[in-house]
Amino acid sequence: MNDINRKNVLIGKKKHDCNDIMRAWMIAEGIAKESELVQIENDAKKSVKVSRKNAWNAYKAPIIKEKEQLLAFFKCVKNTNTQ
Give the Cα-Cα-Cα angle 36, 40, 41 (nearest 5 degrees): 115
> Which ranges constitute the DSSP H helices of 1-83?
3-15, 18-28, 34-82
* CA-based R_g, the chain, Å: 26
pLDDT of residue 29: 97
pLDDT of residue 82: 75
pLDDT of residue 1: 60
Which residues, other chains included, contact 23 with Cβ-Cβ below 8 Å and sequence gap of 6+? 37
Residue by residue, pLDDT tens for the chain (83 residues) are 677 677 766 677 777 788 999 999 999 999 999 999 999 999 999 999 999 999 999 999 999 999 999 999 999 998 887 76
pLDDT of residue 69: 97
